[in-house]
């Protein structure tokens, strides 16, 4: 799960590295308490760089706090959300927004195959 | 053709002036002279004069007035620079009216420049109570202007009590309500697609800003708010504060204490926000939106702490201090069917019906200026 997740104090550079490694086009961002506070996509990073930010800016200046999440791991529901929203990662969080797991495109493909 | 000279120095009063400018644009018997100054021209405050241009308005004059340093001394001295520039513009343009708004220092300079040149001058958002030096400036402006455009009855009465002649005072409502009433709201269906929140279920909107003088307490105040929200069985839509002192503490408190279904936004488009507000179960926090906008939709507003102290409010507002038990009681009241049906019958927006700009422009266009208007008498 580590490669899908970065701390809010990481730089854009580190976020890009993480996205490069996870091949999911986005990362989940947590704070020091391990609480999910947003997500950051490849597109967000490109937009940030175009508008004058540098790769050394911190991700907490740029992330979207209005991310899509689920409290329960429900792959069928997740499939609907992926389809409708075009997202590539879906964090599953507990009641206090600590990260429990992440649903990726891979999980979705597996679900489609089995259906 | 009448000429109205308008002065704006910050985003705050531009929100009052813009609806009047929009309306003036549709008429061919009035010409606006737009003078832009102070914060609008500073890159460190976002060069907001560009927003004015993007709204489709032409800036006629820019007065760069701000001395570097941003302390009390440079603030006072900068106002002098503003005052030095204004009479020359008035001399060249010879406006029929100077229109001021709000409570900032540059508006006071506008009042001095206009009254000393015997140019008729009117003041939007007159007679209200606001904090610190701005509150003093507002009432100083009141002494210099010839026409008071109060936004509510409370301010109207205060101006009379302050010795202003009755024929000069008009309760026209708040022009910033106009844009809200006229603007299109995003429909719930569109919002659901955009936001991924099930808006067919009930939800509360929370907007909490740190109060400058209490910025160190902002974190614990926000924690208390979130704790109370956690206990109610509604979805929570939270809008994060701007980057004022204490805002990081508020954000941390929200992120670290929320439980359950929270949807957090750093900012929302105005039409999206209004669409949400219109359908909310109630709004909580300390945003002026609870006083100014929520009553138009008869939405209960739980108002925390002192940020909105002294401001006129409708029956939809439930004021509470930062006390857990009292906040919970207020939330219960806001969520109760009885309170909601009471509001449906009795709630009116004290800041007007969305037609203020028309009233203001009509007054300026139709008032015949004579000695009675120009020579002020204090009634007390």
- What is this model's ipTM? 0.89
pLDDT at res. B243:
66
DSSP B168: G
If asked whether residues B245 and B194 sit together in one domain, one would say: yes
| Shortest CA distance from A96: residue in chain B | B259
B202-222 in b/e form (b: 16+ CB < 10 A) is ebbbbbbbbbeeebeebbebb
Instruction: Examine the pLDDT at B309 and tell me if it is beyond 80.
Output: yes
Whether chain A has a CB inside 8 Å of the CB on B262: the answer is yes
| pLDDT-based confidence at residue B214 (cuts at 50, 70, 90) | confident
Residues on chain A touching B260 (C-beta within 8 angstroms) = 71, 95
- Tens of pLDDT along B67-101? 988 788 998 999 999 999 999 999 999 999 999 99
- Tens of pLDDT along A33-90? 999 999 999 999 999 898 788 999 999 888 888 999 999 999 999 999 999 988 999 9
If asked whether residues B91 and B203 sit together in one domain, one would say: no
pLDDT at res. B113:
98
CA dihedral B11, B225, B272, B289 (to 10 degrees): -50
Q: CB B196 to CB A97 under 8 A?
A: no
| Shortest CA distance from B254: residue in chain A | A37
Please, are residues A102 and A28 in contact by the beta-carbon 8 Å criterion? Answer: yes
The distance of A95 to chain B (nearest Cα, Å) reads 5
- Phi–psi pair at B37, nearest 5 degrees: -145, -170
If asked whether residues B230 and B360 sit together in one domain, one would say: no
If asked whether residues B256 and B315 sit together in one domain, one would say: yes
pLDDT at res. B132:
72
If asked whether residues B270 and B198 sit together in one domain, one would say: yes
The distance of A59 to chain B (nearest Cα, Å) reads 14
Number of domains making up chain B: 2
The distance of B239 to chain A (nearest Cα, Å) reads 10
Which positions ≥6 away from B32 have C-beta within 8 Å? B3, B4, B5, B6, B21, B24, B25, B57
Please, are residues A29 and A36 in contact by the beta-carbon 8 Å criterion? Answer: yes
A interface toward B at CB cutoff 8 Å?
A: 31, 33, 35, 37, 64-66, 68, 71, 81, 85, 95-97
Instruction: Examine the pLDDT at A107 and tell me if it is beyond 80.
Output: yes
Q: Count the neighbouring beta carbons within 10 Å of the beta carbon of residue B251.
A: 23
Instruction: Examine the pLDDT at B183 and tell me if it is beyond 80.
Output: no
Query: Is residue B293 packed enough to be buried (19+ CB in 10 Å), middle (13-18) or exposed (0-12)?
Result: buried
Strands A26-30 and A36-41: antiparallel
Which helix or strand (DSSP H or E) is residue A82 part of? helix A75-85
**For chain B, where are the alpha helices, taking DSSP H only?**
11-25, 49-54, 72-93, 105-116, 132-144, 153-161, 175-182, 188-195, 218-230, 247-257, 270-278, 289-292, 324-335, 337-346, 356-366, 371-374
Q: Count the neighbouring beta carbons within 10 Å of the beta carbon of residue B179.
A: 16
Residues on chain A touching B261 (C-beta within 8 angstroms) = 71
Cα A37 to the center of its chain, rounded Å: 10
If asked whether residues B156 and B200 sit together in one domain, one would say: no
Which positions ≥6 away from B358 have C-beta within 8 Å? B23
Whether chain A has a CB inside 8 Å of the CB on B258: the answer is yes
B380 occurs within a structural domain: no
Instruction: Examine the pLDDT at A30 and tell me if it is beyond 70.
Output: yes
pLDDT at res. A28:
96
Whether chain A has a CB inside 8 Å of the CB on B189: the answer is no
If asked whether residues B297 and B168 sit together in one domain, one would say: no
Using a pLDDT cut of 90, give the percent of chain B over it: 74
Q: Count the neighbouring beta carbons within 10 Å of the beta carbon of residue B260.
A: 16
Q: What is the token pair recorded at A52?
A: 């004058």
If asked whether residues B76 and B116 sit together in one domain, one would say: yes
- Candidates B197, B264, B265, B273, partner chain A, best to mutate (most A CBs within 10 A): B264
CATH of the domain at B295: 3.40.50.2000
| pLDDT-based confidence at residue B310 (cuts at 50, 70, 90) | confident
- Domain around B365: 2-174+353-374
- Domains of chain A (ranges; CATH) run 2-114 (3.10.580.10)
**Does residue B154 come out as left (phi exceeding 0), alpha (psi in the -120 to 50 range) or beta?**
alpha
C-alpha span between A56 and B135 (Å, rounded): 43
Q: Lowest mean pLDDT of A6-10, B210-214, B334-338, name the range.
A: B210-214
Residues on chain A touching B265 (C-beta within 8 angstroms) = 65-66
Q: CB B255 to CB A95 under 8 A?
A: no
If asked whether residues B128 and B272 sit together in one domain, one would say: no
Please, are residues B109 and B64 in contact by the beta-carbon 8 Å criterion? Answer: no
- Tens of pLDDT along B317-352? 999 999 999 999 999 999 999 999 999 999 999 998
C-alpha span between B243 and A92 (Å, rounded): 29
Length of chain B: 380
Q: Lowest mean pLDDT of A18-22, B100-104, B157-161, B247-251, name the range.
A: B247-251
Q: What is the CA radius of gyration of chain A?
A: 14
If asked whether residues B13 and B85 sit together in one domain, one would say: yes
pLDDT at res. A62:
85
| Shortest CA distance from A62: residue in chain B | B266
B103 occurs within a structural domain: yes
**Selected residue with higher pLDDT from A27 and B133:** A27
**Sequential DSSP letters for B221-279:** HHHHHHHHHHTSSSEEEEE---SSTTHHHHHHHHHHH--SSEEEES---HHHHHHHHHT
Q: CB A81 to CB B196 under 8 A?
A: yes
If asked whether residues B16 and B90 sit together in one domain, one would say: yes
Q: What is the token pair recorded at B369?
A: 């200026």
If asked whether residues B313 and B360 sit together in one domain, one would say: no
B280 occurs within a structural domain: yes
B92 occurs within a structural domain: yes
């Amino acid at each position: 799960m580590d490669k899908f997740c970065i701390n809010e104090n990481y730089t854009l550079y580190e976020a890009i590295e993480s996205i490069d490694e996870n091949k999911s086009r986005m990362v989940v961002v947590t704070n020091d308490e391990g609480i999910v506070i947003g997500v950051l996509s490849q597109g967000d990073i490109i937009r940030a760089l175009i508008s004058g930010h540098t790769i050394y800016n911190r991700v907490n200046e740029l992330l979207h706090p209005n991310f899509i999440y689920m409290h329960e791991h429900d792959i069928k529901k997740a499939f609907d959300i992926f389809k409708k929203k075009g997202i590539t990662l879906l964090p599953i969080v507990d009641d206090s927004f600590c990260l429990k797991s992440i649903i990726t495109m891979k999980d979705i493909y597996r679900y489609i195959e089995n259906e | 053709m009448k000429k109205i000279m308008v002065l704006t120095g910050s985003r705050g009063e531009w929100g009052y002036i813009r609806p009047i400018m929009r309306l003036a644009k549709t008429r061919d018997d009035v010409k606006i002279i737009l003078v832009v100054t102070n914060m609008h021209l500073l890159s460190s405050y976002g060069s907001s004069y560009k927003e004015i241009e993007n709204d489709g308005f032409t800036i006629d004059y820019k007065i760069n007035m701000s001395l570097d340093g941003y302390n009390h001394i440079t603030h006072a001295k900068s106002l002098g620079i503003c005052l030095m520039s204004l009479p020359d513009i008035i001399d060249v343009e010879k406006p029929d009216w100077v229109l001021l708004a709000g409570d900032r220092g540059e508006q006071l300079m506008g009042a001095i420049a206009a009254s000393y040149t015997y140019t008729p001058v009117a003041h939007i958002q007159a007679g209200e109570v606001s904090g610190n030096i701005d509150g003093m400036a507002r009432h100083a402006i009141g002494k210099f202007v010839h026409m008071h455009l109060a936004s509510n009855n409370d301010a109207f009465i205060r101006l009379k009590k302050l010795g202003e002649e009755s024929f000069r005072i008009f309760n026209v409502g708040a022009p910033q309500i106009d844009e809200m009433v006229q603007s299109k709201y995003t429909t719930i269906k569109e919002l659901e697609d955009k936001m991924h929140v099930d808006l067919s279920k009930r939800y509360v909107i929370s907007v909490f800003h740190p109060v400058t003088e209490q910025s160190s307490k902002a974190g614990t105040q926000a924690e208390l708010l979130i704790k109370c929200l956690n206990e109610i069985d509604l979805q929570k839509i939270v809008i994060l504060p701007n980057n004022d002192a204490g805002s990081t503490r508020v954000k941390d408190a929200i992120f670290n204490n929320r439980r359950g279904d929270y949807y957090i936004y750093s900012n929302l488009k105005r039409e999206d926000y209004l669409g949400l507000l219109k359908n909310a179960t109630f709004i909580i926090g300390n945003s002026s939106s609870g006083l100014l906008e929520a009553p138009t939709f008869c939405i209960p507003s739980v108002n925390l702490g002192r940020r909105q102290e002294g401001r006129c409010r409708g029956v939809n507002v439930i004021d509470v201090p930062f006390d857990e038990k009292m906040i919970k009681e207020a939330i219960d009241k806001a969520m109760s069917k009885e309170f909601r049906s009471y509001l449906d019958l009795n709630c009116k927006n004290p800041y007007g019906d969305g037609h203020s700009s028309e009233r203001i422009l009509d007054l300026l266009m139709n008032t015949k200026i004579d000695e009675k208007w120009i020579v002020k008498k204090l009634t007390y």
